[in-house]
Structure 1
Amino acid sequence: MKVTTLLVWFLFISSFSFSQEKNYTEIAQSIKTPSTTLNGTLLNINSKKKTPLVIIIPGSGPTDRDGNNAAMKNNSLKFLAEKLAENNISSYRFDKSVLSYTKEQIATVDTLTFESFITDTKAVLSYFKTSKNYSKIIVVGHSQGSLVGMISGKNIADAFISLEGAGKTIDEILIEQISKQAPFLKDETVRVLDSLKKGVIVDDFNPMLASVFNKSVQPFLMSWIKYNPQNEIKKLTIPTLIINGTKDIQVQTIDAELLYKAKPNSQLFIIENMNHLLKEIKGDVTENMNSYNNPDLPIKDELITILTKFINEL
């Protein structure tokens, strides 16, 4: 009787362990680009058949492959990749280039431009396109990565997905944000940005704007201002999906609507109670802000359902 009981228990444990096995292999993958070597993670589906591959582009700042940086840990992009894998979709996500710089390269960080991100992403796309190991290559750009993705994916990717991506130029966004937070600085902000749009560095500005217009950052802003998301998304001839959440306190739903208006043959989804980090927020701004440093809060299931359907129908 005891032997039978032990046998049943063993079979139960074996069955449970088997069901918990991952359907993918996690691989550390570095890719050389013209400026550096990007470090990333490939989640490769264990299948004899070719699967779609999603290239996940992180947002602004020194953001890593998981969606984290020195100021916050939320694991949003890590969760995104893992959930896609559960649905038999491979993915590659990578650290922003500055996180891969050598000591010598760090000294030249002031020369970084928006084009640097585009060039890096094109190198990643070409690497996987050349491998011919995947059925489709889909670009998923989060936040700032949306603009990077729609530019770099043109003529290379099979589809493009914008997650919480801006629909306006960075100068428009900065003017809006500063006008709300400090209305008395609006005119000064407009003056500085008008100069940067003309390619002229500004030496004198209100010290209260130093964090935005530090002289070392101005060349990067100059290169970023040149790109209008509405113009860039129009140039895409591939299937396009635009997603935004109603609880995003950084990029409003109007931005997604502007992108959709610019490319009306795309698909648009506004997800109720999803914030900038793709997580569900049912409460107030405090709950929203706390999510930025909650690495255990999962991303919204509805997002994965929409992404999976779009990718599988390509």
Structure 2
Amino acid sequence: MMLSLLLAAAAIAAAPPRSSELRAGPNDSLAGTLLLPSGKSRAAMVIIPGSGPTDRDGNNPAGIKAASYRKLAEALAEKGIATVRIDKRGMFGSAAAGNPNTATFAEYDSDLRAWVDKTRKASGQKCVWVAGHSEGGLVALRAADAPGVCGVVLLAAPGETLGQTIRKQLRANPANAPFLASAEAALTELEAGRKVSVDGMHPALAQSLFNPAVQGFMIELLSQDPSRLATAVRRPMLIVQGGHDVQVGLANGDALKKAAPRASYVLFPAMSHVLSDGPAERAANLATYAEADRPLTAGLADRVAAFVTGAK
């Protein structure tokens, strides 16, 4: 009898997390994945994707296969943390929610409020943590003091304005020299709230950074000041920075910490932008984004779980 009880207990302990589709928003037009731990949830979190066509798992048609959000959710489930990772409005499972190119931050705010409410009910928690990766950090910061939010986790999130970051990236690549002046002039126009013509612009810029279809959103995005948003946060906040992040460098984590000195800050020296360890050299670092089997940075899930369960 005792052996049977021990075996039953072992089987329960080894039970896998429970995954299911979850929908929220008007007419249930928003889609995400709810991952519940096998036992009672100790906390719950909404994981907000970064920029562009990044899906709920953290993958992107442009060649990103790291599945960072799925791996983080699975690691957190093992520690008793429930998560909902979401598709942004107009994309993937949330395609029916609207045109992604005309999305506004006000709509993202509304969507996140819907996800917080749905996640709170699905997990049985009184409040929900919002974790924003990269550009998603701006959405998380804007929701920091909303009803039902416990606090904020910023994962490789910007601390500088987007304009500052883009200028640094453009200037860092010598190949951009022939069109650097025109690119920076176009950026200045967008920062001033004016759309720009892409006639005669280098195709790489005209089709991506200054694509007319997304200039409206770019204007709004450029107006966001993450440090100012961080200063206003009154709830608990964890800032997670990677030392080998070639997209959101150390200056961003430093800026966020300066803006919110009460926040907890953790630096993972070898972590890249996709939340796994990567080499310091830019090209080699970016190549790891396509490596689906590369593991999550060691200790990341432990640190996040400890923070959201109270061991700050």
Partner of 1:143: 134
Structure 1 residue matching 2:299: 3-state secondary structure? helix
Residues of 1 paired with 2:280 and 2:251: CA distance? 21
User: CA shift at 1:295, angstroms?
Assistant: 1.4
Which is greater in Rg?
1
Q: How big is the shift at 1:290?
A: 2.9
Secondary structure in structure 2 of the residue aligned to 1:70: coil
From 92, 96, 99, the counterpart of 2:92: 99
Say yes or no: does 1:62 pair with 2:56. Answer: no
Distance 1:109 1:140 in 2: 21
- Structure 1 distance, partners of 2:106, 2:165, is 19
Separation of aligned partners in 2, 1:102 and 1:272: 37
Does the Cα contact within 8 Å between 1:119 and 1:152 map onto a contact in 2?
Answer: no
1:248 aligns with 2:239: no
Q: Retained in 2: the 8 A contact 1:66–1:76?
A: yes
Aligned partners of 2:111, 2:96: CA distance in 1, in Å? 19
Deviation at 1:112, TM superposition (A): 2.2
Percent identity of the aligned residues? 28
Spell out, residue by residue over 1:244-287, the C-alpha distance to the aligned partner (whole angstroms, 9 max, x if none).
11111111011001000001110111111111111122574454
Residue 72 of structure 2 aligns with which residue? 80
- Contact residue 39 and residue 95 of structure 1 kept, 8 A: yes
Once the two structures are TM-superposed, the CA of residue 174 in structure 1 deviates from its matched residue by 1.4
* TM-superposed deviation, 1:21: 2.3
Distance change >3 Å, CA 70–CA 199, structure 1 → 2: same
The answer to whether the 8 A contact 1:141-1:165 is kept is yes
C-alpha separation in 1, matches of 2:172 and 2:161: 17
> Conserved in 1, the CA contact under 8 Å of 2:30 and 2:96?
no
What is the deviation of 1:100? 3.3
Alignment match, 1:29: 22
Structure 1 unaligned blocks of 5 or more = 1-7
- CA-based RMSD of the aligned residues comes to 2.8
Over 3 Å counting, the alpha-carbon distance change for 1:158 and 1:109 in structure 2 is: closer
**Matched residue SS, 1:296:** coil
Instruction: State the one-letter code of the partner of 2:231.
Output: K
Alignment partner, residue 182 of structure 2:
188
Contact 1:143 1:164 in 2 (8 A): yes
> So what's the TM-score if we normalise by structure 1?
0.86
Tell me how far 1:217 sits from its aligned partner. Answer: 1.5
CA contact (8 A) 1:25 1:45 kept: yes
Scaled by the length of structure 2, the TM-score of the pair is 0.86
| Separation in structure 1 between the aligned mates of residue 257 and residue 177 of structure 2, nearest angstrom | 30
- Map 1:133-282 → 2, pairs under 5 A: 133-156=124-147, 157-181=149-173, 182-204=176-198, 206-208=200-202, 209-210=205-206, 211-282=208-279
Cα–Cα, structure 1 residues 116 and 127, in superposed 2: closer, same or farther, change >3 Å?
A: same
CA contact (8 A) 1:274 1:280 kept: yes
Q: Does the 8 A contact of 1:136 with 1:158 survive in 2?
A: yes
CA deviations over 1:154-179 (Å, ceiling 9, x no partner): 22311101010011111221122112
Q: Which runs of 5+ in 2 are unaligned?
A: none
- How many residues of Structure 1 are paired with residues of Structure 2 in the alignment? 301
Structure 2 partner of 1:47: 39
The answer (yes or no) to whether the contact 1:141–1:161 under 8 Å persists in 2 is yes
Residues in 2 aligned to 1:136 and 1:282: alpha-carbon distance in whole angstroms: 37
In the other structure, the counterpart of 1:3 is: none
For the residues of structure 2 that align with 1:104 and 1:166, how far apart are their CA atoms?
A: 26
Change (3 A) 1:190 1:85: same
**Which amino acid in structure 2 is aligned with residue 133 of structure 1?**
G
Matched, 1:111 2:108: no
Q: Distance in 2 between matches of 1:198 and 1:236?
A: 27
